[in-house]
A and B are shown apart, each in its own frame.
Chain A
């Protein structure tokens, strides 16, 4: 092999460029690290996570896990994380529904429906989210009547400026003996899914829509059998009641939670609507015409021809909208919902551990986003065009 001058060797140059780049990054990181340590040393501050077990001594308005002010800072941050997860998960679910409906509506041949959907997308997509959150919170929810003049809807559902109160279920002491029936009911759903898949793989025709009722009927039947052996029901309905200054019992959606959820769902939904529209329009018209000429109905065309192909275009940008929704939930701080960012901010202020808490915040959001991406990537690889 002929030995050439190494600076003319393309392989060497490629490696060199990478080494230089990494050295540069390492230098930059080193400079930043030195800067931080020098500043901390100058202030006489130390870095460490010792504070995390100290009592937080502040209260949190709403929490899905038990928490009181004598619990630790770590626990408080966990409460915030759970609050963020709850609002993000619910938000992603609802915004997908809103987005798909609005996206299809934009393509509707009905003039009014398509214009309404267009106006929704146009207005919502082009105004800042923080303004919309303020509008939902101060403009809509806090303008509802006071607790004593609550709007009572059938249910009873109470709409007040202190939140929305719904009847909710509460576990009875007999719940334990019901466990077997609950598991059976869940198992029946899985079994039906497998049965349907089996039928589908042996047939070219889609399963008639009404067959899907089995998903509901089978569990209900099992629970009904349970009722024959266990006269006492496992759950009881807990109806909200006005006691003292506020409603007690039932399920309360606080104004902060409701405003944040509405805001995030409506905002992200407008982006998803455009993604869905683009996805559907990306399916060539020839596919639709071919489906129609085979005699498929409009519904079948949508279900069997358009959506499977549109999903390939829709899923990747949809993933980034989901990530956006989760990250945008940190705007909760403006309307007083105790999410991760808001509580972590309080912890920073009470402990002064800026660096440590920021790292926790970043890692939390990072793992949330990576997990969401992972799930969506798995799904994406399943709907991808499979070439044989």
Chain B
């Protein structure tokens, strides 16, 4: 009897372990701490074409390669992993509305697929949970200011692209410690630096300070807002994050942004891009080409305001992009006017940028079109 009990215990334990790691539980890091995850806004949707199927398939079970697009079409909405508490990129405001740069791309995919920019179900994910959520099929696409790196692309089994925001890691310090933005990292000798865990930032911080031979103490938080709060309270001399994040969060969270200075030192390249699970090229193509369509639209001067006038354009490039001629959309498994829908309902790349980030004083810089000296470049639509 005793032996049997031991066996039963071992088996029970093993099943608990497996259950904790299996596809059904995508957030093993989810102790009660990750409160953010529970913020879910369900958008009501009339499924297009699929009929009643959508009702019987609730949230995505993991699907074999190549079937994600069909799953999304059948379900009638896009499940999009976003930040949730990051103003300017992914933010759930007090009125319950989602806003932000990353959020608008989710809307664009929904618009392209369903001609309805609200056919999105947003999932707020922590930095630690985000990739697991994607791997397990809990979200269709991740649009959560995530840096495209080799490890994530190759080892985590993700497919990134295209880059929607070229960012770089920066460090912000109090003015009474570092007065000039031009100061080097050695001005921070012996400093405490607040940083968010599970980010590339945490690694770059270690690399850069080690390379510069500067001693420091990291204070690592699981949540970016807590890191900012601790910095505000004076726990740290400096805080490090992506430059965009320091600018937007700094203005939103810090009581007096003018007392702080963001150093000019660029600590890393941080290309932020949406990601999908690896092994589903069809779905990845849809995600990529909707974004390219928005970049191309800005290059052609097509905005959400004037897109209808362009429908009668004689320019073949415009006509192909908007689906007036050719079958670019149906080759992807979409409607031919998918780019038109995204532009009409959400806007071109420049509009999305302007709407979400201009108010934080983030200049276009590297994120300008290639024709204006930036890096935003869409492959040809033909």
Contact = CB atoms under 8 A, between A and B. Distances in A.
Interface of A: 18, 21-22, 25-26, 28-29, 32-33, 35-36, 39, 42-45, 57-62, 69-70, 128, 130, 138, 142-143, 146, 161-162, 243-246, 255-256, 330-331, 333-336, 338, 341-342, 345-346, 348-352, 354-355, 358-359, 362
7 contacts: A43-B279, A57-B203, A336-B227, A346-B220, A349-B127, A352-B151, A354-B28
Given A22-B7, A161-B233, A348-B29, A358 B155 contact: no
Given A42-B62, A44-B157, A57-B203, A32 B278 contact: no
Given A162-B235, A336-B219, A29 B157 contact: no
B205 A59 contact: yes
B33 interface: yes
Chain B interface main SS type = mixed
B217 A61 contact: yes
Interface string B18-40: 11111110001101110000000
B115 interface: no
B146 to A, nearest CB: 11
Given A58-B202, A350-B151, A352-B131, A26 B11 contact: yes
Given A342-B220, A348-B29, A57 B235 contact: no
B245 interface: no
Nearest to A344: B29
A18 B1 CA distance: 10
Contact of A22 (B8, B62, B198): B8
B18 A36 contact: yes
Nearest to A15: B4
A341 B31 CA distance: 10
B132 interface: yes
Instruction: Name the residue in A162, A336, A342, A362 with the highest tally of chain B Cβ atoms < 10 Å from its Cβ.
Output: A336
A345 B279 contact: no
A36 B22 contact: yes
Contacts of B24: 35
Main secondary structure of the interface of A (DSSP, over half): helix
Contacts of B216: 59
B128 A349 contact: yes
B270 to A, nearest CB: 15
B95 interface: no
Nearest to A338: B220
A284 B29 CA distance: 48
Contacts of A345: 29, 128, 197-198, 222
Q: Determine the interface band of chain B, counting residues with CB < 8 A from chain A.
A: 35 or more
Minimum-distance CB pairs A-B, first 4: A349-B198, A32-B18, A142-B233, A43-B157
A245 B66 CA distance: 56
A354 B198 CA distance: 13
B132 A354 contact: yes
Interface string B219-235: 11111001101100111
B20 A162 contact: no
Given A61-B219, A130-B33, A352-B152, 9 more contacts: A32-B19, A43-B157, A44-B278, A142-B233, A246-B190, A345-B222, A348-B128, A352-B131, A359-B21
B192 interface: yes
A61 B205 CA distance: 13
A26 B11 CA distance: 7
Contacts, number: 173
B92 to A, nearest CB: 20
Given A334-B222, A348-B128, A352-B151, A39 B11 contact: no
Contacts of B220: 60-61, 336, 338, 342, 346
Contacts of A25: 8, 11-12, 15
A336 B230 contact: yes
A331 B32 contact: yes
Contacts of A348: 28-29, 128, 198
Contacts of A341: 31
Contacts of A331: 31-33
A60 B216 CA distance: 10
Nearest to B64: A42
A255 B189 CA distance: 20
A173 B278 CA distance: 59
A43 to B, nearest CB: 4
A333 B220 CA distance: 8
B254 interface: no
B21 A342 contact: no
B363 interface: no
Nearest to A359: B17
A53 to B, nearest CB: 15
A250 B205 CA distance: 27
Contact of B15 (A32, A142, A143, A362): A32
A35 B23 contact: yes
B33 A333 contact: yes
**Residue of B151, B191, B206 ringed by the most chain A CB atoms within 10 A:** B206
Contacts of A45: 135, 155-157
A336 B226 contact: yes
B15 A61 contact: no
B184 interface: no
A161 B235 contact: yes
B121 interface: no
Interface in B224-271: 226-227, 229-230, 233-235, 237
B141 interface: no
Nearest to A128: B32
Interface-centre pick from B23, B127, B207 (highest chain A CB count, 10 A): B23
B2 to A, nearest CB: 13
A60 B195 CA distance: 11
A60 B206 CA distance: 9
B190 A245 contact: yes
Given A246-B192, A336-B230, A35 B155 contact: no
A359 B18 CA distance: 9
